[in-house]
A and B are shown apart, each in its own frame.
Chain A
Amino acid sequence: MSMARHSPARSIAAHAVLATYTIIALFPVFVIVINAFKSRKAIFRTPLELPNAESFSLVGFETVLKQGDFLLYFQNSFIVTVVSLFMVLLFGAMAAFALAEYRFKGNSLMGLYLALGIMIPIRLGTVAILQMMAASGLVNTLTSLILVYTAQGLPLAVFILSEFMRQVSDDLKNAGRIDGLSEYRIFFRLVLPLVRPAMATVAVFTMIPIWNDLWFPLILAPAEETKTITLGAQVFIGQFVTNWNAVLAALSLAILPVLILYLIFSRQLIRGITSGAVK
């Protein structure tokens, strides 16, 4: 921040690089959103043009809201994401606390085992998961999705959170023990608030793949009443005809809830990402 290190040329260059990246990253989203508000013809003729008086049309949104039960799909996606997120954060934090706080035989092996899931994609086990869900009668329920996503999110959560838990002062936990707090209260009241930025980071990294997932809803819960929004949007993609207006409108709508969740977590997120570096 000092004047000596502040050169306008360098600052412009840095901003140019960042701006370029931002444009590249946002461009597809931008195209989806503008085309959602255009007529079918305009989508194909001038896909990069902003909607104007002539091309503006809400037909996509009308289709989405009329056809199919989009409110239900939204609700399903929301339930699955929020419940999975809650379970991942709760169990991940608890496991991380145990790994970071207690000395027991095989502690580091256990930590390694729990983190192994980061490297092995859960989709490799799809067939077995489907068999398991079928055997326990969970096919076409939101529960099946929640269970799978919880398992999918836990390894990264345990890995990141246990690193942060180790940084929480031992003295603080010991002070709690001397004051007679139970281990649960020490965990919930003393430790969790201190690792909140890390929790937010984990929440965002966990939430986005769950919200966007098409694979497991397609395999485990394709029934009409358990469809998620990503799966729901697929009804407009046909083998011969695709209703692009509706697809783009559905996707535009699907961005909203996750964007709101992200905004809730993002202030904490930045602190979580940088906290290791500047402390």
Chain B
Amino acid sequence: MGSLALKNITKSFGQVDVIKGVDLEVQDGELVIFVGPSGCGKSTLLRIIAGLEDASGGHVEIDGAEVNTTPPSKRGIAMVFQTYALYPHLTVRDNMSLGLKQAKHPAAHIAERVDFASKMLSLEPYLDRRPAELSGGQRQRVAIGRAVVRKPKLFLFDEPLSNLDAALRVNTRLEIARLHRELGATMVYVTHDQTEAMTLADRIVVLNAGRIEQVGTPMELYNDPANLFVAGFIGSPQMNFIEAARLGRDDAKTIGIRPEHISIVAEGGDIEGRVSHIEHLGADTNVYLDCGESGLVCARLFGEQNFEIDSTQQAKFDENRVFRFDDEGKAIRRNG
């Protein structure tokens, strides 16, 4: 279908540099997700790929051909927006077929494509309705259908699930995963929700302040974060960071330990703290220990656990899962 290459992309709005040199290769058939905090430039980067914004520097290549000066409609892409962006005056059928009509495809071909997409997304009962008569989830399915109809080289998703409620979000996420499997299409997906990123992505690109912090599979990012930012961004609740010196260690500047790799023990723990808050999630219990100058340490324990608030407990780290970071915040690899 299509591959994508970004070569040293930069983008500035006036004096402000939003994207500061991004290089990335997306293989044919891959689903790559951009994550990052708001304002990190992930949506801008997507718009540059789509051709809705011009890059200030660098090259965008789709399928090996440079598309810097190609208008969006000629790039062979389709985009799904957060706010659905359906044409309010057109029926679902016309919404889906507009792109092909513009490209002067024969009517029979358009009908066939719309048929295929609406079957795939079970939109057949709604084809003659207008967007206003559909629910949020249905609208987003139409928006996805509009993208499928175009048979693009590259699908672009701009936070497509952010406007949906929690239950629909899970459903639509599964839908997108199925779509990716069935079409084998190349997809670039932007989100700030790391659950979406972890569950959907072949590879995740973590962006921060206009730069790529790390690119890797979800498990690579989880098990082997390159630096403090990625370590803190991936995983929920967030990884605990403690100054190594406070733990009496001199092999790193900062120690990182995920809440799920901490156990609460009666004695012999790595750090002691006062229980300040407990969150019961049913399957898990999050215990927050106030460790004085070392800060708040969160431990995620399996099942239902009870501790008295204000009681003093010891936290024991799983030594194999401790991350070490140097002065610049870079990870110190275990074997090197």
Contacts and interface: CB of A to CB of B under 8 A. Distances in A.
A172 B87 contact: yes
Contact of A175 (B47, B74, B85, B89): B85
A178 B50 contact: yes
A39 B87 CA distance: 59
Contacts of B72: 174, 177-178, 180
B88 A179 contact: no
A172 B85 CA distance: 4
A181 interface: yes
Contacts of A179: 73, 98-99, 102, 146
Most chain A CB atoms below 10 A, which of B50, B85, B88, B146? B85
A219 interface: no
B77 interface: yes
A20 interface: no
Interface in A148-185: 169, 171-172, 174-181
A178 B73 contact: yes
Contacts of B99: 178-180
B205 to A, nearest CB: 22
A171 B83 contact: yes
Nearest to B90: A189
Given A179-B99, A180-B102, A174 B73 contact: no
B88 A174 contact: no
Chain B interface size range: 20 to 34
Contact of A180 (B73, B79, B84, B158): B73
Contacts of B79: 174-175, 178
Interface in B308-333: none
Interface string A109-150: 000000000000000000000000000000000000000000
B31 to A, nearest CB: 19
Interface of A: 169, 171-172, 174-181, 189-190, 193-194
B73 to A, nearest CB: 3
A190 B87 CA distance: 7
Interface string B98-112: 110011000000000
Interface of B: 47, 50, 52, 71-74, 77-79, 81-89, 98-99, 102-103, 146, 158
Nearest to A175: B85
Given A177-B52, A178-B50, A180-B73, A171 B88 contact: no
B85 A177 contact: no
A65 B52 CA distance: 61
A189 B94 CA distance: 13
A178 B52 CA distance: 8
A247 B83 CA distance: 57
A174 B98 contact: no
8 contacts: A171-B81, A174-B50, A175-B79, A176-B87, A177-B72, A179-B73, A180-B99, A193-B89
Given A174-B50, A193-B89, A181 B102 contact: yes
Ranked 5 nearest A-B pairs via Cβ: A180-B73, A180-B102, A171-B85, A171-B81, A179-B99
Contacts of A193: 88-89
A143 to B, nearest CB: 35
A175 B81 CA distance: 8
Which one of B47, B50, B52, B78 has the highest number of Cβ atoms from chain A below 10 Å of its Cβ?
Answer: B52
A175 B156 CA distance: 11
Nearest to B158: A171
Nearest to A182: B102
A104 B174 CA distance: 42
B89 A178 contact: no
Contacts of A194: 88
Nearest to B98: A179
Contacts of B146: 175, 179
Contacts of A176: 87
A180 B146 CA distance: 13
Contact of A171 (B74, B82, B89, B103): B82
A189 B89 contact: yes
A169 B139 CA distance: 15
Nearest to A190: B87
Contact of B103 (A177, A180, A190): A180
B83 A169 contact: yes
B196 to A, nearest CB: 19
Given A175-B79, A180-B72, 4 more contacts: A178-B73, A179-B73, A179-B99, A180-B73
Contacts of B73: 177-181
Contacts of B82: 171
A194 B89 CA distance: 10
A171, A176, A179 interface centre (most CB from chain B within 10 Å) = A179
Nearest to B75: A178
B160 to A, nearest CB: 11
A174 B71 contact: no
Contacts of A174: 47, 50, 52, 72, 79, 81, 85
Contacts of A178: 50, 52, 72-73, 77-79, 99
